[in-house]
Structure 1
């Protein structure tokens, strides 16, 4: 088996021999997405205040795997003191109606001790862990000070993947010292590599996604090779936003798992494009949003809805679009759901078609590479916190369809939905999660 050595960068003939899944890891991973919330939201009354309870609820719903930001750079690469990490919301009411950002209470954690506790909890409940990092996308924006973010951006973009690899290797050594490394399903150097600060310095970022995937490949290949050198028996990969069908050739040859996030969007994309939610606040089309009837009457001017100057670094540390934050904070959630329902029929056939094609493409590439396939996030997309479209009658059926398709293409791992986690309202729909997880783990496709 090739461990630390790279084949020549031009060699895409399949000569790399992937590291297989470790003994004891399930043959189907039913994944719930705990992301960075498992440490950010541990304050009083928060969903992860009691990790043991959250793990028990996950098992009750049929999950056997959690996927997390393990904060590898902070804990093992930054050089910062992590014995008392202060975490809180971005600032005031800003982003409090945005999924993943609605932190209710501040918290202080001993980072390494908290990681160890999580793994001990997972062992007690029979859960496995996918290690990942959101650090170059948003994790550090929840810190009380900018030290974490400053340390992240101080690393040359050309070296960031390798630094993450070294940090993860040290993190795995730490877990091994405590006899907990058997809980690791596999490691991802980073989440959605083409969307975030791993792409800094590339002229294609946010302009041409396919070119970004291509231009990132040398950085990621070096990072994966460094990880293999340090942890030759641990499977490692990177993962991609959506399924980059126009540039699958540029996924590094030395991955051990293919991980993609099939966010289909469809009807939701109509909202994003119509209201320019990935653009600038200065160009926010207020009149069009008001005409659509989805903005609350008390919403302020979009350009005024920003963090104060002393917290401006947080706006840079998170990549979530500022117009999207504004709309989600001030949306009439019921009207937003109604807007989607009224338009869904015009997108339904295309959404089903894209889902099937994307999963077929991903499965074909995984087979050609000889690596397992996992869907760590996905389905419809980033809806407002109090919107119910994805857990409603249309969205829940789309979840069922996506899980059936995941089983059909032979995926190793999949999710019920990105919103099926303790920090989202969908967690309350226990029956749907049990149904979908059983469907996948028992390979039921009809």
Structure 2
């Protein structure tokens, strides 16, 4: 058949190169390590971030050239009366559990033993100094309206930001970021800033929708710092209706998760809900460790900590007491039915956000991905299936001009995946060597 009868759909319209330009002083590609808030909540003696310089050195040695952090702008520069707390922030985590250990001890991100005090004002500049020594750039974000204050012993931080009226929160964030950027600039580290996110996952935080004041805040911060990339990130971008996104973002920073088989398990055991009657149900009970206490016996963290975070009481109890082998076995047994849809979902979502970024002429970054939230000692995402899905997403992102990407949300010093050093180095090399 002659090609002229096949229609324009057969013509390859893919544009080569990155989706949009980025500042010349930044790397040609970003391979991002997700340090989130853990760089100050897991700084206990012997913890993964006790020595910031060592953590930066190891991150760089494994091939990363960027770290993404919660810079806590509201605590440090929000003008909310928290100056004393920011210089003497006592980290507790979710608190001591009645039978020993602490709440969240077998979750990811919440496995925070606490028991120390940190000067976060000084630590932020220390981080930039270490990043400079080891050739890392920094993606600045805030998790404060999502979970960061829950790790403090005092509820002062959370109460201060929660008192800000909903309609004023973006404006307060903008002012805080302006002051934080000024402090980093004064310290000589402005060119270390790869990206400024008004907030992490504005669609999953205690914030109005971005079009209700957030867009204006992004524009205002961009006007104040025209040499920097300024944006906000989305936990679940509208992949089928990307045209609905505001056209004010300075970068396309989106998160690509395909829960698939994990979502099926979570629904089966009702682990993401809150205060469900009859919890734990029979399906979850079948996956619990033999010595698991009842939820009543286990108790709960302080109620204000649940107000300050998006993680539910059922997730804390369930992840702390699920048998990771039983959890993994269920996922591996059921994965076959979900394999193709998970691969296609990752691929189609990457292509959608990259296409939108190219249309908007913006650099694209995948700041989190690829499967979802699992118990600390579950190995599904670190294992061959999870790594294969991650590689599929990364290759798709590279082919479609995405500038920056994570290897996976769990590929960081505070996760078990950090032990897969050969895979981390090999995958980072694939990203940075991509033509």
TM-score (norm 2): 0.90
Residue 363 of structure 1, aligned match among 349, 354, 364: 354
Give yes or no for contact 2:200–2:232 (8 Å, CA) kept in 1: yes
Q: Does residue 221 in structure 1 map to residue 215 in structure 2? A: yes
What's 1:208 paired with? none
Residue 85 of structure 1, aligned match among 71, 85, 89: 89
What's 1:254 paired with? 248
Give yes or no for contact 1:99–1:424 (8 Å, CA) kept in 2: yes
Give yes or no for contact 1:280–1:323 (8 Å, CA) kept in 2: yes
1:439 to partner: Cα distance = 1.1
Give yes or no for contact 2:20–2:361 (8 Å, CA) kept in 1: no
CA distance in structure 1 between the partners assigned to 2:46 and 2:153 by the alignment: 20
What's 2:288 paired with? 295
Residue 239 of structure 1, aligned match among 204, 229, 233: 233
Q: Does residue 353 in structure 1 map to residue 353 in structure 2? A: no
User: When the two structures are aligned, how many residues end up with a matched partner?
Assistant: 409
1:280 to partner: Cα distance = 2.0
What's 2:12 paired with? none
- 1:361-440 counterparts in 2 under 5 A? 361-440=352-431
CA distance in structure 2 between the partners assigned to 1:216 and 1:30 by the alignment: 27
Q: Does residue 70 in structure 1 map to residue 71 in structure 2? A: yes
Q: Does residue 111 in structure 1 map to residue 115 in structure 2? A: no
CA distance in structure 1 between the partners assigned to 2:56 and 2:76 by the alignment: 23
What's 1:202 paired with? none
CA distance in structure 2 between the partners assigned to 1:339 and 1:23 by the alignment: 48
CA distance in structure 1 between the partners assigned to 2:191 and 2:352 by the alignment: 31
Give yes or no for contact 1:41–1:107 (8 Å, CA) kept in 2: no
Residues 284/60 of structure 1: CA separation in 2 closer, same or farther (3 Å cut): farther
Residues 421/250 of structure 1: CA separation in 2 closer, same or farther (3 Å cut): same
CA distance in structure 1 between the partners assigned to 2:295 and 2:353 by the alignment: 39
Residues 108/59 of structure 1: CA separation in 2 closer, same or farther (3 Å cut): same
Give yes or no for contact 1:31–1:67 (8 Å, CA) kept in 2: yes
Q: Does residue 132 in structure 1 map to residue 126 in structure 2? A: no
5+ long unaligned stretches in structure 1: 1-17, 200-214
1:367 to partner: Cα distance = 0.8
TM-score (norm 1): 0.88
Query: Once superposed, what is the RMSD of the aligned Cα atoms?
Result: 1.7
Residues 126/59 of structure 1: CA separation in 2 closer, same or farther (3 Å cut): same
What's 2:323 paired with? 332
1:276 to partner: Cα distance = 2.1
Give yes or no for contact 1:42–1:50 (8 Å, CA) kept in 2: yes
1:114 to partner: Cα distance = 0.4
Residues 329/250 of structure 1: CA separation in 2 closer, same or farther (3 Å cut): same
1:24 to partner: Cα distance = 1.5
CA distance in structure 2 between the partners assigned to 1:97 and 1:323 by the alignment: 13
Give yes or no for contact 1:262–1:375 (8 Å, CA) kept in 2: yes
SS in 1 for 2:126: helix
- 1:71-220 counterparts in 2 under 5 A? 71-77=72-78, 78-80=80-82, 81=84, 82-92=86-96, 93-199=102-208, 215-220=209-214
1:430 to partner: Cα distance = 0.6
5+ long unaligned stretches in structure 2: 1-18, 97-101
CA distance in structure 2 between the partners assigned to 1:52 and 1:221 by the alignment: 36
1:283 to partner: Cα distance = 3.1
